[in-house]
A = this chain, B = another copy of it.
Amino acid sequence: MTPPAELPVVLTPRWIAPVEPANTVLTDHAVVIRGDLIEAVLPRDEALRLYPHASRTDLPDHLLIPGLINLHSHAAMALLRGAGDDLPLERWLHERIWPIEAAVMSDAFVYDGAVLACREMLRGGVTTFNDMYFFPEATARAALDMGMRAVLGILVIDFPSAYGSGPADYLDKGMALRDSLRHEASIGFCLAPHAPYSVSDDAFREVAKLAAELQLPVHMHVHETASEITNHIAQYGVRPLERLAALGLVGPELIAVHAVHLNDAEIRLLADHGASVAHCPHSNLKLASGIAPIARMLDQGINLGIGTDGSASNNRLDMLLEMRTASLLAKGASTDATALGAHATLQAATLSAARAIGWQDRLGSIIAGKSADLVAIDLSDDDQQPIYDPVAQLLYCAGREQVTDVWIGGRPVVTKRQLACTRALDAVSGISASRVVWHNRLSLLVPDGV
């Protein structure tokens, strides 16, 4: 990876959407990067006067935004893309995803899939992803090789896998991984109990204890489908969120993924306790889980982030597309065209997500002192004209194919739409042979593949 430039770098984009302050578009401004941090955001003329010896990157047709944060991913599932399209959820899980995972799960499978996922996410302007999967050490290696920030889930799930024997083993392995990566500033950790239907009370109590002791976020699937709620009531006598609340797991540390099926009391519960929601609209639609009540959540003040989920249920790790769908779906489902507007959606995918993972002091907006995680989007194509509000244009018109440059901690990781770091390019080319091997193995497990 290229080391951060020692000289300051002055970026002069046409527009800056700093996210802080909210609903703002700066023109004739510059962003000054020194080392891995944003040193200043100031009028362009002033920047050029104050930093006459800086290296300058002109972005004459570009909107500059904070790096996007994918608040819910299973990165390694990039290798399972398309393995179960147009199937009902139960068949998708029982006939495709679980048997395939059981057959191929390994450190190598997770590393290779995560490298491909990082490549896709980086080129689409995603600089940080919040992941939950087996073999998180492999996902960590992939993220480090690709120069990407990752928050890894310390997985907790009741059933055994190639990765571990059960909750205690998963927790031990995850905590050991956290210790071993303490020095990596680009790697963070969440506790990641899989879901109320797959984690016992004892394991949840251990999670709650560790979350409190270590100040770790808790990343968990919550109320994704109607049937899991019905089944939970049959087994526990209460809806999942009521059990989670009783176990002390509904608080500001909770990242409730999906949250499709919430009644008004549950929306208030999450809001009152400062919990976050990771909204995954494509996955919820594709698996026919339903439509999350986003407008009502925002009315109650829930901290909202957006995630792609894994490639087997999306099938595109494209945060800009996920943001557009989140915004459009919130309007259509609430019949309020002002719901989750363009600026609010950008905030959800940056600053609100940073808050959910506990990195709001480092990430999520373009202000002095934060990490220089930045994305430049070229809006010069005829298809992008005319432009009144470039943030609305980004949300409703542009696509990830317009992302030209991405910086993480001041390092260029994407330049002219291509990966810019030698180590990342090496990682991708290093797995090109194994990718074919995985595909051949997976093809045997996917009926009717072409």
- Flag whether A73 is at the interface (Cβ < 8 A): no
Chain B residues near A123: list those with CB within 8 A.
Answer: 383
Query: Does chain B have a CB within 8 A of A442?
Result: yes
CA distance A290 to B331 in the complex (A): 8
Please tell me which one of the listed residues B120, B338, B397 contacts residue A86 in the complex, with CB atoms under 8 A apart: B338
Give every chain B residue within 8 A of A119 (Cβ-Cβ).
Answer: 382-383
User: Interface readout for A427-450 with B: 1 if CB under 8 Å, 0 if not?
Assistant: 010000001001100110010111
Q: Are A287 and B337 in contact (CB under 8 A)?
A: yes
Contact A288–B337 (Cβ < 8 Å): yes
Q: Does A390 reach chain B (CB closer than 8 Å)?
A: yes
A316 touches B396 (CB 8 A): yes
Binds B, one of A77-85, A162-170, A207-215, A247-255: A77-85
> In the complex, what distance in Å separates the CA atom of A387 from the CA atom of B332?
32
From the candidates B120, B390, B397, B449, name the one contacting A389 in the complex (CB within 8 A): B449
Contact A450 B88 (CB under 8 A): no
Closest partner residue, chain B, to A384 (CB atom)? B81
Q: What sequence of 0s and 1s flags, for each residue 107-122 of chain A, a beta carbon within 8 Å of any chain B beta carbon?
A: 0000000001001100
Nearest neighbor of A344 in chain B, beta-carbon distance: B86
CB distance from A406 to the nearest CB of B (A): 15
Cβ–Cβ contact A82 & B338, under 8 A: no
Q: Report the separation of the CA atoms of residues A395 and B315 in the bound assembly, to the nearest whole angstrom.
A: 9
- Residues in B with CB closer than 8 Å to A388 are 82-83, 85, 443, 446, 448-450
Q: Please state if B82 and A328 are interface contacts (CB–CB under 8 Å).
A: no
Contacting residue for A385 out of B81, B329, B332, CB 8 A: B81
Cβ distance A236 to chain B, nearest Cβ, rounded Å: 24
Kindly state whether residue A314 has any CB partner on chain B within 8 Å.
Answer: yes
Contact of A392 among B85, B335, B342, B395 (CB under 8 A): B85
Do B85 and A385 touch (CB < 8 A)? no
Q: Which of A31-83 contact B (CB under 8 A)?
A: 79, 81-83
B328 & A282 in contact (Cβ 8 Å cutoff): yes
Query: Are B428 and A382 in contact (CB-based, < 8 A)?
Result: yes
Interface flags, A321-337, vs B, CB<8A=1, else 0 = 10001001101111111
> How many copies of this chain does the complex contain?
2
Question: In the complex, which residues of chain B have a beta carbon less than 8 angstroms from the beta carbon of A390?
Answer: 450
A396 contact from B315, B389, B438, B450, Cβ within 8 A: B315
Question: How many residues on the A side are at the interface (Cβ–Cβ under 8 A)?
Answer: 71
Q: Is A339 an interface residue (CB 8 A)?
A: yes
List the B side residues contacting A438 at CB < 8 Å. Answer: 386
Question: Considering the chains assembled together, what is the distance between the CA atoms of A450 and B25 in angstroms?
Answer: 8
CB of A197 within 8 Å of the partner chain: no
Closest B residue to A334 by beta carbon equals: B288
B439 touches A27 (CB 8 A): no
Judge if A341 is at the interface, Cβ distance under 8 Å. Answer: yes
Question: When each residue 293-320 of chain A gets 1 if its CB lies under 8 Å from chain B and 0 otherwise, what string results?
Answer: 0000000000000000000001111000
Bound complex: CA A376 to CA B316 (Å): 20
Which residue of chain B lies nearest to A336 when distances are taken between CB atoms in the complex? B288
Bound Cα distance A166, B428 (Å) = 63
A286 interface residue (CB < 8 Å to B): yes
Contact status of A337 and B397, CB under 8 A, knowing A116-B382, A386-B439: no
| Chain B neighbourhood of A15, CB < 8 A | 450
Task: State whether the Cβ of A127 lies closer than 8 Å to any Cβ in chain B.
Answer: no
Q: What 16 new A-B contacts, CB under 8 Å, besides A79-B386, A116-B385, A386-B439?
A: A81-B385, A83-B386, A85-B396, A87-B337, A116-B382, A116-B383, A119-B382, A123-B383, A285-B329, A285-B332, A286-B337, A325-B328, A382-B428, A386-B435, A386-B442, A388-B449
- What are the 7 tightest A-B residue pairs by CB atom distance, in nearest-first order? A285-B332, A285-B328, A288-B337, A388-B449, A86-B341, A401-B401, A85-B392
Interface residues of A (CB under 8 A from B): 15, 25, 27, 79, 81-83, 85-89, 92, 116, 119-120, 123, 226, 282, 284-291, 314-317, 321, 325, 328-329, 331-339, 341-342, 382-383, 385-390, 392-393, 395-397, 399, 401, 428, 435, 438-439, 442-443, 446, 448-450
